[in-house]
Amino acid sequence: MKTRIGFLALILGLAISSFSQQDKHFSMFAESPVYLNPAAAGFFPGGMQLFTNFRTQWSSVSNQPFRTISAGTDWRMADNGNGFLGAGVNFYNDLSGDTKYMTNEVTIPINYAVMLGKDNHLAFGLQPGFYQRTLINDNVTWDNQWTGTDFNTNFDSNESLLNEKLNISRFDISAGAYWYANISRYTRLSFGIAGHHLTKQRINFMSADSKLYRKLTLHGQCSFTQQNSNLTIIPAFYAFLQGPNKEFTLGSNFRFLLRGSSRVTGHFDEIALSVGAYYRLGDAILTNVIFEISALSVGVGYDLNASSLTLASNGFGAFEVFLRYRVQFGRGGLGNPSIH
């Protein structure tokens, strides 16, 4: 019993210390790069896209697993052939644990992309935002409430500062640069770098000295297709540094064109299926399946835990699903659905 309690306490401590200063992350990061970098707004086939994502993690460890929801849209405007403006609105909600520890973010990415050459753009973006944290501890119990057989919440916990809902709200800003290029008819590249939480705002409920770590993000993606082939290989990577926290993910999706669109009549829409595998260094193996039909994409992903927490999680990590819809208007967008 003592071993079990100690082990669970260790897991909780690691989760809280990491989660409190580490941003949310999604395993299918390449499907909406504007979440990683405000300069990536507007870089996709079409004129506007709508995106939503749901992720749940550690359901095998806790009755109150971590849950993250996101929704957003970004679009391209003022496209004159030499450059364009990109903009969007994104929302995130993250909830974890018995304390209902919640993080909300509303961000507005804005960028300008300059054409360096044919099908070659470099963009710079800013992202003002609203950042909020909330803690509700009605379900929390403390050691001095232990009766020997269970917890009695009628006993005074002596934790007077934590006996009510706590809330903190702050202004936030991020910035980034993003390069996107069609190297050839069959090869496309993108690379981005971004800095998040540049204001380094205070986020602790009770200490004026605790500030949110600034975050450096690097990400990139390639798309390789052979002539007369229905297979496109799409390797991608994502890395960040945020205070003592760091992450590196590398892998690839393999996109199979099941049916091409009819070029003359427009009667048939393109249909494709992608399968992918990635490795988050020291943490998890990420798998996904993505189905695309015309402008609609549906993706499902699953993380297999490969860290020291496997003893508690039994290898079960996170489940993730996304929906994306792209609207075609204006000049028709950049590239094709095989790169984002």
**pLDDT tens-place string over residues 72-82:** 999 999 888 78
Instruction: Look at residues 187, 188, 214 and name the one whose alpha carbon lies nearest to residue 203.
Output: 214
- Where in the sequence is the domain holding 167, given as residue range(s)? 2-327
Domain of 124: which CATH number? 2.40.160.40
Work out how many domains the chain is built from and give that number. Answer: 1
- Which pLDDT value is given to residue 161? 53
Residue type, 152: N
Which residue numbers in the chain have pLDDT < 70?
1-23, 58-64, 97-99, 137-145, 148, 151-165, 205-209, 262-268, 308-315, 329-340
Instruction: Classify residue 334: in a domain, yes or no.
Output: no
- Which pLDDT value is given to residue 15? 42
Residue 34 neighbours by CB distance under 10 Å: 30
- Which pLDDT value is given to residue 17? 40
**pLDDT tens-place string over residues 214-247:** 999 999 999 999 888 999 999 999 999 999 999 9
- Which pLDDT value is given to residue 335? 52
Quote the strand ranges of 185-267, DSSP E: 187-196, 215-225, 231-242, 245-259
- DSSP assignment, residue 61? T
Instruction: Classify residue 312: in a domain, yes or no.
Output: yes
Instruction: Classify residue 335: in a domain, yes or no.
Output: no
- Distance separating alpha carbons of residues 71 and 53, to the nearest angstrom: 6
Instruction: Classify residue 216: in a domain, yes or no.
Output: yes
Instruction: Look at residues 109, 99, 218 and name the one whose alpha carbon lies nearest to residue 167.
Output: 99
Instruction: Classify residue 68: in a domain, yes or no.
Output: yes
Q: Does residue 112 contact residue 123 with C-beta atoms inside 8 Å?
A: yes
Instruction: Classify residue 333: in a domain, yes or no.
Output: no
Our CA angle for 149, 151, 157, nearest 5°, is 140
Q: What is the dihedral of CA 254, 191, 218, 40, to 10 degrees?
A: -100
- Which pLDDT value is given to residue 26? 85
Instruction: Classify residue 81: in a domain, yes or no.
Output: yes
Instruction: Classify residue 336: in a domain, yes or no.
Output: no
Q: Round to the nearest angstrom and report the end-to-end CA distance of the chain.
A: 50
